[in-house]
Amino acid sequence: MKILKFGGTSVADAANIRRVIDIVKSQSKDNRLVIVVSAFSGVTDLLLTASREAAAKNENYKEISRLIEQKHLDAIRDLIPVNHQSALLSHVKRIINHLDTLFDGCFLLGELSARTSDTIVGFGEILSSSVISEAMKQEDGLRNEAAFKDSRELIKTNRSFGKAAVNFETTNRLISDYFTSAAQRVTVIPGFVASSSDGNNTTLGRGGSDYTAAILAAALHATVLEIWTDVNGMYTANPRLVKQAQPIERISYQEAMELSHFGAKVLYPPTIQPVLNLKIPILIKNTFEPEAVGTRISDENNVQSNPIKGITHIDRIALLTIEGSGIIGVTGFSKRVFEALSNKGINVIFITQASSEHSICIGIQHEDADAARTSVDEAFEIEITQQRIDPCTVEKNLCIVALVGENMKNHQGLSGKMFSTLGKNNVNIRAIAQGASERNISVVINEKDVQKALNTLHERFFEDNIKQLNLFVMGVGNVGEKFMEQISSQKKYLKDNLKINVRLIGVSNSRKMLFDEDGIPLKEWKSLLEHGEKADKETFVERVKALNLRNSVFVDITANEEISKTYAQYLEKNIAVVTCNKIACASGFENYKNLKNLSRKYNAPFLFETNVGAGLPIIDTLKRMIASGDKVNKIQAVLSGSLNFIFNNFNENASFHDVVKEAGVQGFTEPDPKIDLSGVDVARKILILIRESGYEMEINDIENKSFLPQSSLDTDNVPDFFSSLTANAAHFDALYKEAASKDCRLKYVAQFENGKASVGLQVIPKGHDFYNLEGKDNIVLFYTDRYVDQPLIIKGAGAGAAVTASGIFADVIRVGNV
């Protein structure tokens, strides 16, 4: 004997019921079956709504009743041949008439008793089972094999309407007697409904149809209890919140009960109890994918390498805290707390108490919070008045997240991994509970962090430790496009070799912005962005924070000062910042220091390798030297690839104006080349190196020896600036000729020594490390306590979209490796 239970979505309409019939036909060939069915999807809610509307004297209940009737009549007309519909239509109409009589009674009396509510709400299963059993009788292969049996005649309960307790002695006898004499191979039974010993309709409470199936399975010593639903079994996490969640193939009864208690909706804890002692396995299957393996719940030895079976959560939790010196060493204190809650019918979900006994925290449902606080404060009124105990406090908008696994007790360090994983993503833990059996480790966190927490933990324990990085990119010009190309081409390599899964979640240029929580296709971002919403930097920031995704990274590929002012907002929300924008790190020292402090405080990387030298590892090398105890005493550097390109190509055959124009065309200068030529950009770079070396300095402390004429510096737009270069051609030619006459070359040099820094054009003789610096290359010489006579030299391409993009990409990878 096998028991098959089909939930509301499985019997939502005629099309789904046909799927159910196909499953039953297939299984009935080799097995005797009992089919337990729920009400059609949504009908139970409609019955509850209609009864409440009637009791409130709102005649809207009549319309709802017609909707319920129509739903079942439509199913009959779709499933049953016309010449066999008459009897069933009449039967359904009789039930609906009875239902209308009950609604009318509620309307006239203006009340809804628990007894009447049980009778009304149970009609959903009575109606669905009547339709489904008749549909099976009309099906070839089941015509003479299917029958209907009313569960109210088999399952007997007390009179606790709403959640009746089963009289198992009577129930088991009735079930056994009926099926011993029944001849049919398939019996259809309504779930959820039962009756009291005196014949009143009762219901079995939340998950009642599952419970009906379990009661039948235990009474008949079934070989298996199958629960058919709309998912492929129990999952490692809620698949609606964790896209990477996987079905669990095998799980123990105890693990299943833990997951069910903590919100796994495919199964309710009471369901397992009747079959637990008899060791009857439970199989959870998908009506819409019957070939899928599903989840098998049993006491079989399911040894596997991962001790965690699932990660689950309970929403809408409030945390009640009672503390004070009057608690310590007082016998019976906890008893009084729980008694106060019990007297108000408040269910305790979570408990944790400090070993000092100074405080106790209790997790309860959000809606019970105010009543619980009042009850506890009343119970300890004297102690509170005497200031021995503080009035209890309540925190709302919390949830419980739990790791569940039977074998957790045999593995060390799981709690540490859980807490450190949450901590790295700035998920604050409000309370912790762990039983001695270590089957469950629970934490209370803020409700807004639940999706991030579940995904972070699932990534840590179930995804081969693959780290998902969620990118939000601001600025997709020349460098930004190259960055996108590099991500797209390397995405598979990063996942396969570095265990980093990069997703583009948000992107913006100066006109449009686009967000997609499921990821923006890297091959289509440009066309999708064109149809995005209007760009707004503040809205962008708020959207990133509201998504609250784990391992979020804001990537700034602009030179915009206003964008640089948003970094603090990201860092304090545990969102990493990767930037090639030098403005923030070259701003006031207090702002620079604040950003670094926020990065440390909230465990959010703040990386800006491309601020100096584009893709060259200058800042990273400097950080490692300082971390190892070395001290920088002097820095000499050519830090502008654009200026190096300009002075390498400026000669008697090419005007200064034309060379600067060409540098812009090749992407070596900023859109406004005066930023490069004025020395401001180089001053920012050397300032960043000085600060990263451990020195405090402001941009105004750096002497800027400009080679530009004052008329060029005074221009306020790009066309006027280029006109000034032409007008001052003789000035630039004189600079070149002076250097050439000495067989020297012009280089724009930044230097720092003895607490002083400067930037300016210098004449470099042959033999100097800077003399043969070609193209757009940068070079940095670090003189330190360890590198005294011969400096540490870093040299290479220091400008260009591709190398800058690669430097940004390298910083993103560093975030993934944190």
The catalytic site residues sit at 685
> Which two three-digit tokens encode residue 126?
């009575």
Interatomic CA distance for residues 454 and 315, integer angstroms: 12
Q: Crossing angle for the helix pair 269-276 and 208-219, nearest 10 degrees? A: 0
Helical segments of 425-477, H only: 450-462
Q: Are the CB atoms for 559 and 670 separated by under 8 Å?
A: yes
> Which two three-digit tokens encode residue 437?
């059996």
Interatomic CA distance for residues 47 and 767, integer angstroms: 92
Nearest to 149 by CA among 221, 220, 240, 239: 220
Nearest to 444 by CA among 456, 453, 457, 436: 453
DSSP state of 426: T
Cα 694 versus chain centre, distance? 38
Residue with token string 């944190």: 818
Cβ count near 677 (within 10 Å): 27
- Reduced 3-state DSSP string for 755-797: CEEEEEEEEECCCCCCCCCCCCEEEEEEEECCCCCCCEEEEEE
Which residues in 123-143 are b (16+ Cβ under 10 Å) and which e? Answer: bbbbbbbbbbbbbbbbbeebe
Nearest to 798 by CA among 696, 691, 701, 689: 689
Interatomic CA distance for residues 619 and 615, integer angstroms: 10
Interatomic CA distance for residues 578 and 562, integer angstroms: 16
Which residues in 198-212 are b (16+ Cβ under 10 Å) and which e? Answer: eebbbbbeebbbbbb
Nearest to 484 by CA among 808, 29, 815: 808
Q: Are the CB atoms for 739 and 729 separated by under 8 Å?
A: no
> Which two three-digit tokens encode residue 193?
């409904």
Q: In what order do the strands lie in the sheet with 156-157?
A: 156-157, 193-196, 201-203
Residue with token string 């005497």: 386
By CB atoms closer than 10 A (0-12, 13-18, 19+), residue 440 is: buried
Q: Are the CB atoms for 71 and 40 separated by under 8 Å?
A: yes
Which residues in 421-432 are b (16+ Cβ under 10 Å) and which e? Answer: bbebbbbebbbe
Query: What is the identity of the amino acid at 586?
Result: A
Q: Spell out the residues 6+ positions from residue 767 whose beta carbon is closer than 8 angstroms to its own.
A: none
Which residues in 170-186 are b (16+ Cβ under 10 Å) and which e? Answer: ebbebbeeebeeeebbb
Q: Strand 250-252 and strand 295-298: pairing? A: parallel
Q: Strand 33-37 and strand 393-404: pairing? A: unpaired
DSSP state of 269: H
Interatomic CA distance for residues 592 and 579, integer angstroms: 13
